[in-house]
Amino acid sequence: MAELIDPTVRLRASFLAAVREFAEDRDYPTPWFVHDIEPPALTDPAAFAGYVARLLGERDEANRRAEWFVPMTTLWWAEADRMLGRVAVRHRLTAALEKEGGHIGYDVRPSARRRGHATAMLAAALPIARSLGIAQALLTCSETNTASRRVIEANGGRFIDAVGTKRRYWVPTS
């Protein structure tokens, strides 16, 4: 059974395979986190360990990489030794994240889509957001992404409005 886990070097091979899938996927835009991986981490095990350490460190306000960057808890959705997806719970919002991004972002690797992973992953992430003091999580999705809209609504998402090409929802975390 799949579960949310901390990023780990143990899943390096599966993570790298998922990154390749995301990069090759022509149906959806490549997730931002794929572009955020330092190139050496894609080939060197020690650099990958550094990448994992960076992800774990991003939970701390003191480790912000840039002024616009907010602390976030990144978790991987995994089953045994297979990384199926990732979720990022942002601890707070900036003005830009209020319009596009929200508190929680998630991605399911292309070969694992349409199996309920995104719905389960978001459901598992909501209590984590709650533990960070977020009573209602803001989630956004593209107007054209009906799959993500269904995931958000299945988790209790209440439509707020559309800003540009993004739909915004409040999702209770309890």
Residues 155 and 119: beta-carbon distance below 8 Å: yes
Give the residue, 74 or 64, on which the prediction is more confident. Answer: 74
Residues 47 and 38: beta-carbon distance below 8 Å: yes
Confidence of residue 123 (pLDDT cuts 50, 70, 90): very high
pLDDT over threshold 90, residue 145: yes
Residue 67: strand, helix, or coil = coil
CB count in 10 Å sphere of residue 171: 23
Instruction: Give tens-digit pLDDT for 27-36.
Output: 888 998 999 9
The domains of the chain, with CATH numbers, are 3-134 (3.40.630.30)
Q: Tell me the whole-structure pTM to 2 decimals.
A: 0.94
Residue 5: strand, helix, or coil = strand
pLDDT over threshold 80, residue 66: no
pLDDT over threshold 90, residue 44: yes
Residues 103 and 129: beta-carbon distance below 8 Å: yes
Distance between CA atoms of residues 33 and 18, nearest Å:
12
